[in-house]
Amino acid sequence: MTRLSVNINKIATLRNARGGNNPDVVKTALDCEKFGADGITVHPRPDERHIKRHDVYDLKKVLTTEFNIEGYPAPDFMELVTKIRPAQVTLVPDTPEQVTSNHGWNTMNYQDFLVDIISELKGNGIRTSVFVDADPRMVELAAKAGADRVELYTEPYATNYLELGPEIAVKPFVVAARKARECGMGLNAGHDLSLVNLKYLKEQIPWLDEVSIGHALICDALYLGLEKTISEYKKCII
């Protein structure tokens, strides 16, 4: 079964726009779980422009599904996640000023760095996923670095799904997914997945372990409501 992890960064962005605690990030996360989400994802950035450090601690206390924390493994991030010990940490190569993730790791150039980071995380009992482009060589070297999983960066798939058609869009992702399976790694996917393109991706890569979805899901919830939206996303990955 492919699991749905709901990224709640956008809930925190909305809250931070006015200050206070409306919407309540923790309550929203608990509601996502109640409505069928299999996990909760957050990406705390150094400037705390959405998820704040205290959110991470507050969520850890109450979540009953898998907790996935994304981020660049700077010292403050590593300190946070080794204290929290979520089920999974997803390593992304983002610089502090990036609005959102826009590429995967070059696992060749950063091999030694990733080996050390992954070893520390796994030593703390944390499953580690490495965010990569749909490139089988990058997948293979993530495995060599010791990663438990890779997360395929799916923005190119989402873009090409509309511009070039589903069959062309998904081809490199199927190749990369097969390499992950060949290497004995788990497989996640995320970025710009939506109700438009998610079902086809799952059909072509049925062994997907997890999809992490935030922006599109929260946008859909403005029209459909959070409970129905989560239900519709779950239908896409059955």
Distance in angstroms (rounded) separating the CA atoms of residues 34 and 72: 30
In this structure, the strands spanning 88-91 and 127-132 are parallel
Catalytic machinery residues: 43, 70, 191
Q: Check residue 21 and report its DSSP letter.
A: T
Angle at 99 between CA 94 and CA 100, to 5 degrees: 60
Calpha distance 127→105 (Å, rounded): 17
First to last CA, the chain: 7
Sign for the CA dihedral angle at 108, 111, 56, 84 comes to positive
